[in-house]
Amino acid sequence: MLAVTDVRKSFGGTAAVRSASLTVEAGESVGLIGPNGAGKTTLFRCISGELRPDAGTVAFGGRTLGRMPPWRRARLGIGRTYQRVEVFPELTVLDHLLVADRAPRHRGALWRDLLNRSAPRPTELDRMAAVLAMVGLEAVADRPVGALGLGTCRLVELARAVVAGPRLLLADEPSSGLDGDETASLASVLRALQRSSGMAVLVVDHDLRLVEAVADRVLVMDLGQVVASGAFDAVMSAPAVRRAYLGTA
C-alpha cells in the first residue's frame, strides 16, 4: 500500500534522511523506531507531504504522490496524528469527529451553515457514536476538548483520524507526554482499531512498549537510513540496532 523508495532529505549541509526505503502492506501495522536524530520524523513528514524530498519517491496504492499536498493525500486515504496534540480547544469531542468525517466528503458548505442546515443527521450521529465507543470517549462526547487531559486528547486525535476510514494511518509519537498506564491504554485502543477496521498503520514512537504492542513488523532507522527490519524481538537483538542505540565499546 505504501512504498517509500530511496528518499533523501537535507537541511543546508545536514543530511537528515539518506536513501531511506520502506514498505507497508495493506492491513499491516509497522513500527518505525530509532535513536534521536535518526531521521524518523523527517521521513514521516516526507510521507505525509509536509516536506518535499530532495530525491526518491513516495507511492500510495501504486500512485506516486510527487508534490501532492497533505490535504489531497488525506483524501486518498492517509490519516494522520501528531506528536504535539493538534485539536480545537473550543470544539466538543463529537464536533471534532463530525468535522473530520465531513471534510473528505465536501459537506462543509457555507450555505448550509447560513441556512442552519448543518445539523448532524441521524446516520452521522450513529457513525460517530460507534467510533466514540471504540475509543472509549462516549462519556465526554459533548465536552469541549480544551477541558480534557492530555491522554484523552490523544484518544480524540486518534478517533478523529480514523473516523473517515483511512486506508493508512500515520501515527507520530502517539505516546508523547503520556504516563505508562495511558500509553498502555492507547496502544490497546490503536491495536483494536487497526484490527477491526483493517487499515494499515505506520507508527513512529520512542516508547518501545507501545511499538511492541502495536506493530506486526518493526523498522529501525539510524543516521538517516533503515538499518533493520523484522519482528520486534529479532530486530532489538540485531547488532546494528544495538550499535545505533548503545554505540560501541
pLDDT in tens, 34-60: 988 899 999 999 999 999 999 999 999
- 5: pLDDT confidence band, cut at 50, 70 and 90? very high
Among the ranges 55-69, 111-125, 134-148, 187-201, which has the highest mean pLDDT value?
Answer: 55-69
**Annotated domain spans of the chain:** 2-91+166-246
- CATH code of 2-91+166-246, in short, is 3.40.50.300
Pairing state of beta strands 55-60 and 29-33? unpaired
Residue 80 region by backbone torsions, left for phi larger than 0, else alpha for psi between -120 and 50, else beta: beta
Contact indicator for 219, 22 with CB cutoff of 8 Å: yes
Buried b / exposed e along 76-114 (16+ C-beta atoms within 10 A):
ebbbbbbbebebeeebbbbbbbbebbbeeeeeeeeeeee
**pTM of this structure:** 0.86
pLDDT in tens, 141-188: 999 988 888 888 888 888 888 888 889 999 988 888 888 888 888 899
Task: Give the count of alpha carbons within 13 A of 142, CB side only.
Answer: 1
Q: Check residue 211 and give its pLDDT.
A: 93
Place of cell 477491526: 196
Q: Rounded to an integer, what distance in angstroms lies between the CA atom of residue 186 and that of residue 196?
A: 15
Q: Check residue 163 and give its pLDDT.
A: 85
The distance between the two most distant Cα atoms of the chain, rounded to a whole number of Å, is 70
